């Protein structure tokens, strides 16, 4: 863990990297992942990790550690919004607006056509997509209502009517 007044520790020599100081990171993405986050206080320390890292091509990228204010902002957890169950669409004012929007096709045409051809050898008209989308919408609305009735904001497989 970093000491007070420091940003992090060097991964090679374990010396603290001060807030606002220059430090180096490896140019290879696997060294910069959130869990790995290799940081080095000097290019010499960065050079120490190369024999074990086995990079094909890498270089040290110069960065500047955050200041005290930036570090404090990053450390404080974001304010969490209170979750609430939304009312049904029929009771909201935006329901009428939502109903007037053009309804998009929800069915992937190529997958449907492949399925019908594989099952029967038949062709499929593009005009089939709209009625099937209406059926999918109706089933989804019922599943949403079932989840809302159970007090959840996630539609589960058990919410879909059989």
Q: Would the pLDDT of 43 be above 70?
A: yes
The verdict on 141 and 119 lying in the same domain is yes
Residue span of the structural domain in which 143 resides: 89-159
Q: Could you give the 3-state DSSP secondary structure of residue 113?
A: helix
Query: What residues contact residue 104 under an 8 Å CB cut-off, 6+ apart?
Result: 133
The verdict on 52 and 25 lying in the same domain is yes
- Mean pLDDT to the nearest integer, 73-86: 63
Mean model confidence pLDDT for the chain: 83
The verdict on 69 and 109 lying in the same domain is no
Query: What residues contact residue 86 under an 8 Å CB cut-off, 6+ apart?
Result: 92, 148, 153
**80 found inside a domain:** no
Alpha carbons 25 and 149: distance in angstroms, whole number: 51
- Specify the number of domains making up the chain: 2
Quote the pLDDT of residue 59: 86
**83 found inside a domain:** no
Alpha carbons 62 and 110: distance in angstroms, whole number: 49
- CA dist list (Å): 146 to 86, 87, 126, 143: 13, 13, 31, 5
pTM above 0.75, yes or no: no
């Amino acid at each position: 863990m970093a000491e007070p007044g420091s940003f992090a520790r060097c991964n090679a020599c374990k010396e603290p990297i001060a807030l606002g100081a220059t430090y180096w990171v490896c140019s290879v993405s696997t060294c910069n992942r959130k869990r790995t986050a290799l940081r080095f206080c000097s290019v010499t320390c960065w050079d120490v990790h190369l024999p074990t890292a086995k990079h094909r091509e890498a270089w040290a990228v110069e960065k500047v550690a955050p200041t005290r204010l930036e570090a404090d902002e990053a450390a404080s957890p974001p304010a969490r919004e209170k979750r609430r169950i939304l009312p049904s669409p029929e009771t909201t004012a935006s329901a009428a607006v939502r109903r007037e929007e053009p309804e998009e096709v929800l069915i992937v045409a190529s997958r449907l056509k492949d399925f019908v051809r594989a099952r029967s050898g038949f062709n499929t008209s593009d005009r089939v997509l709209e009625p099937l989308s209406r059926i999918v919408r109706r089933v989804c609305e019922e599943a949403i209502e079932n989840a809302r009735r159970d007090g959840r904001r996630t539609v589960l497989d058990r919410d879909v009517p059989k």
